[in-house]
Amino acid sequence: MGQTQNHFPPKDPSDTCVPAHSRQGELFFTARVVLHRLRRTVADFFGGLRRCEKMHDGPYSVVVGESRSKLWSDKRPAEAAYQNGKVQNLKTAVQELDCALLLPGQIFSFWKQVGRATEGRGYVVARMLQQGCMIPAVGGGLCQLSNALYDAALQAGCEIIERHAHSRAVPGSAAAAGRDATVAWNYVDLRFRSRVPLLIRARVTPDELAVSFCVFPGTVILAEDGDARSGSVAGSEPQAYEPARTCATCEETSCFRHEGHAP
């Protein structure tokens, strides 16, 4: 199955060259985000994008793609509250994702399935990568889930419709292995489709996040490497990233968004 990576919008506002610590840069960034969100909302409305239905019973017992990642990736004391927040956000998001059934030809959209991360839906403040820095934001940490979905989708032979790589390295991220997929409501999304029915299972244990794709016994899918789908798997090459900064570790205290103290 052909691999494509349609980066919509063409350039992520997170990669803007305006300094992140200036108020002018923040206003410019916000204006671009609003524009991209509006464009995506209109495109999805007319494109007929829909959520996957839940399938709680069924013979989807064969795992064809699985990704596991550690929850507690940053053990610095100053980051403890944000790590707890990330885990809470992942627990909230997997409730919308677990047991989702992706039908043949249907496009899976991370944001369409998970929904917007708001306080009213149970999301809390955690770290989110924006303009090279890990900043506090409601719903932060969901990229660990999109990373896992992208990794499992590649293993399951899915066609990647849209995927955006991170601009910086996040502690514990799959970015270094080229298996990352950053998301930002709603204009930076992860989208893929399969030509066989796939049941998505997701859970958060005390130590890790686990995402698996399951099919009927006897279902034939294309292997991850060396098949007619493509000569190589998109995004599988290791990449070099600069490390992301946080207010707990950087020395740029003049930034107007600097937290000033640990939460």
Q: Determine the residue type at 41.
A: T
Structure confidence at residue 134 as a pLDDT band (50, 70, 90): confident
Q: What is the pLDDT of residue 20?
A: 46
Least confident window among 136-150, 155-169, 170-184, 210-224: 170-184
Q: Are 112 and 49 in contact (CB under 8 A)?
A: yes
Please compute the mean of the pLDDT values over residues 199-206 and round it to a whole number.
97
In the predicted structure, residue 113 carries a pLDDT above the cut 70 = yes
Return the pLDDT at 227. Answer: 44
What is the distance between the alpha carbons of residues 202 and 10, in angstroms, rounded to a whole number? 30
Q: What does the pLDDT read at residue 247? A: 65
Predicted pLDDT at 169:
64
State the pLDDT at residue 244: 63
Output the pLDDT for position 30: 87
Instruction: Give the chain's mean pLDDT.
Output: 82
Lowest-confidence pick of 37-46, 177-186, 241-250: 241-250
pLDDT of 77 reads 87
- Minimal CA–CA distance to 1: which of 156, 218, 179, 162? 156
Give 158's contacts (C-beta < 8 A, 6+ positions apart). Answer: 1, 108, 192, 193, 194, 198, 213
Using alpha carbons, select from 137, 138, 126, 129 the residue that is nearest to residue 168.
Answer: 129
What's the pLDDT band for 117 if we cut at 50, 70, 90?
Answer: very high
What is the reported pLDDT for 225? Answer: 47
Of the pLDDT bands very low, low, confident and very high (cuts 50, 70, 90), residue 230 is very low
Residues with Cβ < 8 Å from 211, sequence gap 6 or more?
66, 67, 68, 97, 145, 148, 149, 151, 152, 200, 201, 202
Q: Which residue has the tokens 């610095």?
A: 76
pLDDT at 17 over 60: no
- pLDDT surpassing 60 at residue 14: no
The predicted-structure confidence for 69-85, as pLDDT tens digits, reads as follows: 999 988 888 889 999 99
User: Which residues fall within 8 angstroms of residue 2, CB to CB, at 6 or more apart?
Assistant: 159, 229, 230
